[in-house]
Every structure is written in structure tokens, then in C-alpha cells.
Structure 1
Amino acid sequence: MSDKPTVLAVDDTPENLHILMDLLKDDYAILAAKDGEKGLKLARSKDPDIILLDVMMPGMDGYEVINRLKAEEKTKDIPVIFVTSLNEAGDETKGLALGAIDYITKPFNPDIVKARVRNHLELREAVRVREDVERIMRHDLKSPLTSVISLPQLILMSGEYDEHVKSMLARIEDAGYTLLSMVNMSTALFKMERGTYSFVPESMDMAAVVRKVFIGHEDTAQMRGIELVLEIEGTPAGPEQEFTVSAEELLCYSMLANLVGNAVDACPKGGDVRVSLQRMEGAVQISVRNPGEVPEDIKSRFFAKYATSGKDRGTGLGTYSAKLIAKAHGGSISMESVDGEVVVAVTIPQP
């Protein structure tokens, strides 16, 4: 079996197939199909690393082929480069909208063909390596993090401790949750950007997640005289009051940690940061409120990637990741100023 990457060329013109095979045969294993149906069968059975797909073919054209490729789990991630003699921008736009990663025009320029295939295969391999490394890191880090999270509760069960010790143990547990969330989110956000994240909701207590997030920001809030308040259905929540929703707990923790952290940073001294949980028809809404102001230079790009203002060490990924997480839940996120408050609201549909 060849160790070379596999290129599948699909074109109804034999001459074009021969040209592509001659150009690429030294560096790649080549598969060839003379129509869309055969191309689909080879894609399903041989799992090529990249597909060069002619747009204009009798019967099933390239647009229909890529539609079917992207609709099937086994073939949806195979990169497709369209091969066409069409030069109109509208045709390129249509192909890219369907999921093609690039275009090669006929007559073929040998250097361009080789460069495009090589560059996209190298990019795909880089993505694979990144995912493998992050998968290994997640596996190797989760075992010690499980101990960090579980041991504080075991210690508390083993004896009586004063409130100071209980508080320190709670912070250790919260730090463990924060690290676990970061480990899981490293790959999750990448998959959300690509639209390949598999969302698996579960029944969870959103109020408990908010309380854990508050513990992580407690020190900063106390130093600045900021009160952290949890509200459920418009009234202050009791210490054990629950708010059960269908969602992914670690994603919600990461989202709220970012939104509450931003609110604490923006809140003036002596103010309060409130997280409100409320049920709506067919959904729940999570609102994070603070009396601060959003800088003018960031209002229009509040949820954009790398958007930050006035933070020396800010990454500009907090609100962007919150947007991706809301979208992964099938929901939405918004920011507005209401009665002197900045309100970031996340709506999550419920079954």
C-alpha cells in the first residue's frame, strides 16, 4: 500500500484526467473517475486525502457531487478543489458556498495545480497533527485534574473544618474545573469554528455552574467592592436553589467564566455584577449585567475574534468563544445597554 497521499480526480474528459495524473503521479497516489457517480463511490470506499472535481459534467455535475459529499459523515471532511473552465465570479462563489476550498481553472497551469494540491494537503495534515496533539494533552491532563476536582470533597467528608479551610478547598475545586474547561475547550472551539462540533446536551443545574464561576472571581470582586449576585426568575436566588436546563455543563461554565470575568473587569468599584436566569417559551435566557460601559472602539465588534480594548493581557477571545458556545447550543447571544447597564444575554433553546 502506498504511503503517498491519495488524490481523487473526477472529470468526464479523459484528456483532463490524463493531464492531472501526469502532473501529480510522482508525488501522490491517483484515483480517477469519469463521472460523478463513480467519483462518489471512490470517495466513499477509498477515503482520498483530496478531491479534484470538475464542475461541468453530464448527469451529476460537480455541484451535486459536493452536496452529496458534504451530506455524508464519511466524506464530509474531504477537501474538494473545483476544476473548471468557468471564469465568472458567481460560479466560484457558488462552489465555495457549497464547501469547496479552492478552484483550479482549465487549461491547467502545472505549477498552480501542484502548489494548490500541496498547500491544501499540508494544511489538512497540520490540522490532523493539531487535533492529535490536543487529544493526547486532554487525555494526559484529565487524570490529575480529576484528582484536583474530587479530592477537596473527599477531604471535607473526612472531618470537620472551619469556614476558611472550606473556602480554600472550594477554590481548589473551582481551579480544577477551570483547567478542565480550558483543556476541553481547546479543541471544542476549533471544531465549532469549522462546524464539526458534536453537541451532547444533558440535564444540568445552571445555578450551580454560576456559583462555581463566582468563586473563581470572588477575590477580584471583593478587592474592588463588587457584589456578585445570582437571580432566578427575577429574584435573588437562595443558596441551594436550582435552575435545571438541558445544555453542556463544561461549555456553559467556560462561557459564563468569560462573560462574568469581563463584567467584573468593566464594573466600577462598589457596583454589582448580576447573572439572571429566566425561563422563556421554549428556551432559557442567561443575562450577565453590570453598570460599566462598553468602549466605543469595541461596540461594533464586541463578539468578534480578538476584539479587546484596554487590557494589556487580554486575548479578545472571551466574547467570541461565548458566541460560538451559544451557537453550538442552537442559541444566540446579544449585547446592549439598558438603563445604564451593559447586558449580555444568551438564549438557549430547550426541548
Structure 2
Amino acid sequence: MIGKKRSKILIVDDTEVNIDILVEFLGDIYDVSTASDGFTALESVAATPPDLILLDIMMPGLDGFGVCEKLKGDAATSDIPIIFVTTLSDITTESQGFDLGAADFITKPFSSAVVRARVKNHLALREAARFKADVEQITRHDLKSPLNTVIDLPKRMLLSENLSDRLRDMLQRIEDAGRTLLAMNNLASVLFKMEQETYTLTRAKMDLTAVTRMVLSALEDTARMRDIKLQLVVNGADIPAPIHFMGEELLCHSMIWNIVDWAVEASPREDIVLVSVESTSPSMIRIDITGRTEAPLELRDIFFEKYAGDKKHGTGLKTYSARLIARTHGGDAIVSSKDDKIVISIFLPT
């Protein structure tokens, strides 16, 4: 029977006796490697990334804070838990360490039980986070194939000439709903990268009018249940004309969906949510989503902040991610009031 793979621990301390004590505590459970200074520690991590690092603070040359800052600043090593082991126990030191991304502190002199417990706990937390991320990645990948089928089959059926208007409308809504799910699935995989400003857009020519129409089609049933009318106006006209934009279609779909969906949920019954798309400026496209909202007035000041919403009106992630997508495209999003209505405006540079 194959045994469970042992986790790799890197111990970094310029005092040999401290290294010896920690190796004695952990060597029978984990694969332990050591480094006696900060620069050697960085070289060791680059060559063989550990699962966790026990790091002294006060070392000559590059101290523990410097090592931690460099590792947390590198996407390849930022998720490695770092536990500072130190004689320093003041609040300022701990605050600085946690601000740099440290997972925990262990104060010298060491206790075998404390060292083993904290190492075990942080390894378990990391393993749980990695497992969750892997499951989500597999799920997102596996969803693409059935979602593409949901999108493709109605599209093929719509090529038939012997369809009633009602059936055509139903098939179109199925296709639009499939595209919405595909956009949501895509957003889940790139949101963190956009937050970290490490995401690279794959721009392609797209029709923002068509994307907005798909969003409104997918939200039609939700709006109908609240007796809310969805209205689309393009460059001041009720007859939608194409507005072309170089961007990522799935992200733009999520951006518009998140705001319109919020407006539908936050509006009073028997109201109108107006979506206006304008390309009157040669350098900017503007999308306005206007509605009367039942959300508390104070929420408008924190409209785009993460986790700013209350339980009734959501977590704030929809509006937060919408502005994040706009900014990733080089634009922005703002909220304002006009004639006792709330207006969420998205600006996209052309």
C-alpha cells in the first residue's frame, strides 16, 4: 500500500540550535529542509517549493520580513503559508507580519505541541483551499461542453423555417440563458486574476447591442415575476442597432448581466428598468441602467464595494465585479441619481 505523501517544510533561521529543535519536532512527520539566511531561503523555495515555511524574523542580510514580502509578491509562491518563529511578541511586529501575508506567529522558546499543532492546522487549511480550487476548476471546465450544447442546439433548430413565433422565442431564450451560464462560468475563473491585475484580456470584435439583448432575454422571466418591464434603447432609438466594441464578450455579458439583474431585484414591482447603450462619442461607449430602487439610500455610497450589500439586496459582488470588468477593459462604472431614480453608468473606451 502506498503511503500518503509527506508535506515539505522549510525552516529558515540563522541560529543553528533553533533549526535543530524544529527539525527534532517535525522531522519524523514531514520532509524538512533548512536555510540559515534569507537569500538561501529564496533559492531553496525557487528550486523546490515547500508546502509551508517556518521563518525567523531577525536575520542578517535579508530578514524574515523581506523574505516574506518577496514570496508573497510572487504569484508562484504567494500561496505558501508562512509562520514566523521569533522572540519578538509585540503588536507592531505581529501587525507588520500579518500585513505582509504571514499565516501565523510562534514565539520562542518553542513548544513541541504548539509547533506541531500550528503546522498541521495551516497545512490542512492550505490543502482544503487547494482541493476546493481544483474541484471548482474541474467543474468549470466540465460545464463548458454541456453549456455549448445548450447554446448550439437551439441555434441549429432556429435555422428551420417551419417554426412558430412562440417556439422561436422559446429557443432563443434557451440559447440566451446558455450564454449567460457560460459567461458566469467564465467569470468565476478569472475574477481573482482581474483583482490582482494579472489577467490579460483576449479582445475580439463584438456587438454590445446583441450582448445586451441576450442579457435582457435571459432576465425576462425574472422581471416578469416582479411585473417589471425591461426596455432597451440604442443611441436614442427603440430599434436596436449594432454597436461594435473590441473586448471579451463573455466578460461584457457578465458585466451587463450583473447590473441589470441587480436593478431588477432592487426595483419595486410594476416598474421599468431602462437599459441605454450609446456610442455618440467617437472614443467612448456608455451603458446606462436606470431604475427606481428599494435599496437603502446609504448603500448607494458603497454601491461598487465588495460585500457592501445587505442580505435582501445581495452581497455587493455583482456590482463590484461589474466595475472590475469595466476597469479591466480600461473603462469604469459610476452610480448617480436622476429624477428619484438610480442610474448605473458603464463607460468603455473604443
TM-score, scaled relative to structure 1: 0.84
Q: Name the CA distance, whole Å, in 2 between partners of 1:62 and 1:146.
A: 49
| Uncovered stretches (5+) of structure 2, i.e. residues with no partner | none
Q: Structure 1 residues 155, 120: CA separation in 2 closer, same or farther (over 3 Å shift)? A: same
Aligned pairs for 1:236-247 within 5 A: 236=237, 238-246=239-247
Contact 1:206–1:245 (CA under 8 A) maintained in structure 2? no
Distance 2:315 2:65 in 1: 39
Tell me which moved more, 326-335 or 12-21.
Answer: 326-335
2-structure distance, mates of 1:7, 1:282: 54
Could you tell me which of 167, 170, 191 is aligned with 1:168? Answer: 170
Partner residue in 1 for 2:210: 208
Query: Counterpart amino acid of 2:242?
Result: Q
Q: Measure, in 1, the Cα distance between the counterparts of 2:153 and 2:194.
A: 32
Counterpart of 1:154 (choices 143, 153, 156) is 156
Which residue identity is paired with 1:175?
Answer: A
Matched letter for residue 81 of structure 1: I
d(CA) in 2 for partners of 1:281 and 1:111? 67
Q: Distance in 2 between matches of 1:108 and 1:334?
A: 53
Q: Percent identity?
A: 44
Render the CA deviation track for 1:165-189: whole Å, top value 9, x for unaligned.
2211111101212322333344444
Do the aligned partners of 1:12 and 1:34 also contact (CA within 8 Å) in 2? yes
Amino acid at match of 2:168: K
Specify the alignment match of 1:11 in structure 2. 13
Question: Compared with structure 1, are the counterparts of its residues 219 and 72 closer, same or farther at alpha carbon in structure 2 (3 Å cutoff)?
Answer: closer
Letter in 2 for 1:319: T
Are the equivalent residues in 2 in contact too, given 1:293–1:342 (CA < 8 A)? no
Question: CA–CA distance in 1 between the matches of 2:283 and 2:90?
Answer: 45
Determine helix, strand or coil for the equivalent of 2:201: coil
* Alpha-carbon separation, structure 1, partners of 2:124 and 2:164: 57
Matching residue's letter, 1:179: L
Please report the RMSD computed on the Cα atoms of aligned residues, expressed in angstroms.
Answer: 3.1
Q: Quote the Cα distance in structure 2 between the aligned partners of 1:206 and 1:59.
A: 55
1:95 aligns with 2:132: no
Which residue number in structure 2 is paired with residue 255 of structure 1?
Answer: 255
How far residue 43 of structure 1 moved from its aligned partner, in angstroms, is: 0.1
- Contact 1:7 1:29 survives alignment (8 Å): yes
- Which residue identity lines up with residue 30 of structure 1 in the other structure? V
Q: CA deviation at 1:266?
A: 2.8
Distance 1:59 1:50, change over 3 A: same
Query: What's the offset of the Cα at 1:250?
Result: 2.3
Deviation for aligned residue 1:223: 5.7
Deviation of the 1:278 alpha carbon: 5.1
Judged with a 3 Å threshold, the aligned counterparts in structure 2 of structure 1 residues 170 and 5 are, in CA distance, closer, same or farther, namely same
Partners of 2:268 and 2:294 within 8 A in 1: no
- Matched with 2:344 is 344
Deviations 1:33-89 (A, max 9, x none): 001111011101111111112121111112222232234343233222222222232
CA spacing shift, 1:75–1:265, aligned 2, 3 Å: closer
Q: What's the CA shift for 1:220?
A: 3.9
Change (3 A) 1:19 1:206: farther
SS of 1:103's partner is: strand
Are 1:44 and 1:74, in contact at CA under 8 Å, matched by a contact in 2? no
Conservation of the 8 A alpha-carbon contact between 1:294 and 1:342 = no
> Take 1:87 and 1:324, find their aligned partners in 2: how far apart are those partners?
39
Partner Cα separation in structure 2 for residue 153 and residue 67 of structure 1: 51
Contact 1:131 1:187 in 2 (8 A): no
